[in-house]
Amino acid sequence: MSTTRRRVSGLGSARSGTGHFWLQRLTALANLPLVLSFLFIVIYAAGGTREEVVAFLGQPVVAIVVLLTLLSITTHMRIGMQVIIEDYVQNEGVKVLALMANTFFAVAVACAGAFAILKISFGG
């Protein structure tokens, strides 16, 4: 005779799912004002010349808003894709490779975007 807890023991962790759930909800909530601010920035900069756009993006507040938007979106994207991969990819080897590729892709997008924003912001 075994207890219900003993039968399900070893079938997965019940500790990290809640953290991912709340982080995804937190980034979704943060994305609302950040994306609205980002859209305002894009609309404001859309009609300007290259020099005007670079000068506008070089302002510290604008650069910080764009960086925060990029960080929040890429984090939200990585967590959302991770949930999809964990739920729908059955083969464990493919699942591990897909999770690694997901993380590397999100980090690469965040780093490339941050580099571009910082380069523009510091006048490079």
Q: What is the pLDDT of residues 53-103, one digit of tens each?
A: 999 999 999 999 999 999 999 999 999 999 999 999 999 999 999 999 999
Residue 11 has pLDDT above 60, yes or no: no
Q: Up-side HSE of residue 44: CA atoms within 13 Å toward CB?
A: 13
Per-residue pLDDT at 16: 66
- Find tokens 């005007």 and name the residue: 52
Query: What confidence tier does 14 reach under pLDDT thresholds 50, 70, 90?
Result: low
- 90 close to 99: Cβ distance less than 8 angstroms: no
The pair phi, psi for residue 46, each rounded to 5°, is: -60, -35
- 48 close to 56: Cβ distance less than 8 angstroms: yes
The percent of the chain in helix, strand and coil, each rounded to the nearest 5, is 80, 0, 20
Per-residue pLDDT at 15: 58
Domains identified in the chain and CATH numbers: 16-121 (1.20.1300.10)
End-to-end CA distance of the chain: 70
State how far the Cα of 36 lies from the Cα of 42, in Å rounded to an integer.
Answer: 10
Strand ranges (DSSP E) for 3-112? none
